[in-house]
Structure 1
Amino acid sequence: MPNSRSKAPTPDALRTAEDAIATVAKQVKFTIAEYPVSLYVNRFTDDENDRYFVPEYQRKLAWNDEQKSQFIESLLVGLPIPFMFFYQTAGGRMEIVDGSQRMRAMRAFLKENLRLRELTLIPELNGFQFEHLPTDRKNKLEDVTIRTIILDTETDPSTRAEMFARINRTGTIANEAEIRRGSIPGPVTELIKELAESDQFVEMTPLTEKAINQREREELVTRFFAYTNTNETENGRFPGYRDRPKKFLYDYLKSANQLAEASPDSIREMRQEFEQMLTFVQNTFENRFQKSERGRTIPRVRFEAISVGSALALREQPDLRITPEEVATRMVDADFDRVVVSDGANVRSKLEGRIDLIKSILLAQ
């Protein structure tokens, strides 16, 4: 009978793994604090301008009055409350990474006359506002403490982004595009937002309301620039890509913002290349980025292949002209639809393969 036990890691592998753990652990710097409800509310008079504030990528995430009421009910009866999660900015303000809905619920009840509703544990309080509670109950509620993890300003930005994503995997999700927008401000981030909202791009990328709210168009624009501008570098193709686009896209955007701040003209050039690509795709591909004429989704793998492949072809041949009929025929001959399937889509070889296929189709290589 074959030995089913897996091979044990070598001593070198164990040392390498331990070093990796130690390196990442050093990047995570935080303290744990415990404050009363009254302090949280007094430092959070509105979403954007007070000492505690909600980052842009979370401002659309909000509980309804029933959810707010049930959280207040939990505080009143002493149920355990999960940690909140803040990031302390260089200016000393607190960005609410996880907990904005709870913060809003506390503010709504204590300061904004929220009327409790749909309570399950103490339905006798349905219809009550904070002012209706006896003084001793008000005091007890204001003195309830909630623990908060506070990330230090020195915490590595990529580590912060990863933690943002992990914390927001439950409940209402703050997706990758929202996280990048909130944690990596800069000229390229603003350009991505601008282009994602441009009339031409919106018209060419029909999406569901859910995808729009999740900033899918910003995700697509980010992928276009990341793959186009790292296709050929002194460190090779897509340096740092490890079959995980999340970290690759984060690192690219961070670097691109820094380069754009040093070279403002690059923003104009990036905008021009993106708009030229859109016009070319509009005139050259029968269904543009869609799989079919009436499609209401834009598969990322298809968008990456067509947008980046077209841009790279135009870099080699700026006056490239080819009819939609010819492109459609070549795509069928090359079995393009089979290439852009989602299985293993982020594997490096498949990413490179689908981009190169469109480029070769356009240049007849």
Structure 2
Amino acid sequence: MSEHIDFISEEQNEEFSNDDLFNITSWGADPSVRELIQQYKEGDIEKPELQRKYVWKKKDASRFIESLLLGLPVPSIFLANIEQSGKRLIIDGYQRIRTLYDYIEDGIWHGDDSDFKLINSELINERWRGKAFKELTEIDKRRLKNYTIHAIVFEQKHPSDDSGLFQVFERINTSGTTLNNQEIRNCVYQGNMNTLLFKVNKYQQWRYLYGEQEEDPRMMDLELILRYYALNSVEIYNSDKKKISLKQTLNKYMQSNINASTDFIAEKESEFYSVIDFIYTNMGEEAFFNLQNDLSKIRRRLYPTVFDSIMIATSIALKKGCIDVVKNLPEKRLALLRDATYRESISQGTMKIDNIRTRISCALHFLYGIKL
């Protein structure tokens, strides 16, 4: 298996801003805890699909509940109003909302499925120490349910693609570890393409090639698959632009395929499996690895630019039917990795159109003997 895959690069640190941010309206609301629990229970407000698991410790949850019982102020929650569904997605505040639901409605601690009782510690006021919600006095129950938590609600009025909401997530999310780009896309662009990414990411041959059997908790494996889909387009590598923004390109691809047809999704699923199967069978688990700088040994980590060029080149070759007589692909791949032009295109200015085109063209030439 590969070492830890490090994706920190100019692509990941890329930032952008555009006028979409100024087409977003926001307003304040003050729902009671009772209202928040009911809305969460009925699905009117929800955590984006597989966004982030519940991570609070029992101490954190207990201290939060105690703060409300004491009447202390707590931070605002942030919600995104999604016009298409009429629902609101939780940008920031899931840990708090889930804690309230578990303590008051469910009575089960989400951490280990035990009865949810506040910790029996001096950190908690002795009036509530070690108590479940049902053990509180009626006055305390009422006080907790009637507590109002300020909510800031965002809605993008124009354009209707929610592109500005990506920036809202990016700038406002404050809970623990900041969400990365793909985690934010998973929040903003829920739909058919997002569901497809989760499905194909489980494919066993892909897990071998990725180098980890467990799905990446930060969704970097999902972003790689999305990268392949989004860059595998003649509009991209035959563009007249000098450079693209990877972040914006992936965002636009996700948004444009939120409601993609069943046929389109099935085609993309089959395409991914076919390309992955061919690469795994003919190049092995090191297919997306690079060479060390002295070109003498394999560097055991997946390189995104090696990945996208070999994936896209293989996809093109399969569609053209140019693979039946291909032999010795492992040796040809090593020759590709030693080529100076290819090495420059995968390491410098990787989102320049010329370099995207060059690395795909090189992969097609060295591996399959055809031109882009």
Common fold: TM-score over 0.5: yes
Corresponding residue of 1:66 = 59
Give the Cα separation in 2 of the matches to 1:97 and 1:270: 29
Note closer, same or farther for the CA distance 1:338–1:27 as it changes in structure 2 (3 Å cut). same
Q: Does 1:161 align with 2:155?
A: no
Q: Which residue of 2 aligns with 1:104?
A: 98
On the 8 A contact 1:33/1:147 being kept in 2, the answer is: yes
Structure 1 CA distance for aligned equivalents of residues 24 and 86 of structure 2: 18
Structure-1 separation of matches of 2:66 and 2:298: 47
Q: CA deviation at 1:195?
A: 1.9
2:78 pairs with 1:82: no
Q: 1:102 Cα shift?
A: 0.4
Pick aligned residue for 1:206 from 211, 216, 226 = 211
Contact kept in structure 2, 1:177 and 1:215, CA below 8 Å: yes
Q: Deviations over 1:182-210 (max 9, x none)?
A: 4334443333332222222223222274x
Q: Distance in 1 between matches of 2:231 and 2:305?
A: 12
Q: Which residue of 2 aligns with 1:271?
A: 269
Counterpart of 1:326 (choices 312, 315, 331) is 331
Aligned to 2:226: 222
Give CA deviations for 1:132-191 in whole Å, capped at 9, x if unaligned: 334433333333321111123636411112322333365144443343344334443333
Equivalence for 2:256: 255
How far 1:57 moved relative to its partner?
A: 3.1
Whether 1:30 and 2:43 are equivalent positions in the alignment is: no
In the alignment, the residues of structure 2 paired with residue 94 and residue 257 of structure 1 have an alpha-carbon distance, to the nearest angstrom, of 17
In structure 2, the residue corresponding to 1:122 is in which secondary structure? coil
Moved over 6 A (4+): 292-296
Does the 8 Å contact 2:166/2:184 carry over to 1? yes
Question: What letter matches 2:106 in structure 1?
Answer: E
| Selected match of 1:196 from 189, 197, 201 | 201
Between 317-326 and 67-76, report the one with greater CA deviation: 317-326
Give the unaligned 5+ runs of structure 2: 1-16, 108-115, 292-296
Distance 1:59 1:239, change over 3 A: farther
Which residue in 2 is equivalent to 1:116?
118
User: What letter corresponds to residue 61 of structure 2 in structure 1?
Assistant: K
Counterpart of 2:309 in structure 1: which amino acid?
A
**CA positional deviation for 1:81:** 2.0
Offset at 1:96? 2.1
What secondary structure, in the 3-state scheme, does the structure 1 residue paired with 2:89 have? strand
Matched residues in 2 for 1:58 and 1:119: separation?
31
- Contact 1:206 1:295 survives alignment (8 Å): no
Give the one of 171, 179, 202 matched to 2:176: 171
Match of 2:139 among 136, 141, 151: 136
The question of whether the paired residues in 2 share the 8 Å contact of 1:58 and 1:100 is answered with no
Q: 1:185 to 1:43 in 2, by over 3 A?
A: closer
Task: Give deviations 1:215-266, integer Å, cap 9, x for gaps.
Answer: 333212111111012xx23x873588955312211101222455x43xx544
In 2: Cα distance, 1:144 partner to 1:267 partner: 45
Give the whole-Å Cα distance in 1 for the aligned partners of 2:167 and 2:36: 26
**The residue matched to 1:94 in structure 2 has which SS?**
strand
Secondary structure in structure 2 of the residue aligned to 1:35: coil
Bigger shift: 239-248 or 68-77? 239-248
> Shift of the alpha carbon at 1:33?
0.8
Distance change in 2, residues 1:144/1:220 (3 Å): same
SS class of match (1:57):
coil
Shift of 1:317: 5.5
- Point out the more displaced range, 94-103 or 161-170: 161-170
Contact 1:66–1:118 (CA<8 Å) still a contact in 2? Answer: no
Q: Distance in 1 between matches of 2:97 and 2:239?
A: 41
Say which of 127, 132, 155 aligns to 2:130: 127
Task: Give distance in 1, aligned partners of 2:104 and 2:258.
Answer: 41
Return closer, same or farther for 1:163/1:119 CA change in 2, 3 Å cut-off: farther
State percent identity of aligned pairs. Answer: 24
Greater shift after overlay, 72-81 or 62-71?
A: 72-81
TM-score by length of 1: 0.76
**Letter in structure 2 aligned against 1:358:** A
Unmatched tracts of structure 1, length 5 or more: 1-19
**Bigger share in helix:** 1
Single out whichever of 101-110 and 178-187 deviates more from structure 2: 178-187
How many residue pairs get matched?
334
Higher relative contact order (CA 8 A, sep 6+): 2
Distance 2:264 2:251 in 1: 19
Contact 2:21 2:167 in 1 (8 A): no
- How big is the alpha-carbon RMSD for the aligned residues of Structure 1 and Structure 2? 3.5
Would the alpha carbon gap of residues 332 and 85 (structure 1) be closer, same or farther in structure 2, given more than 3 Å must change?
closer
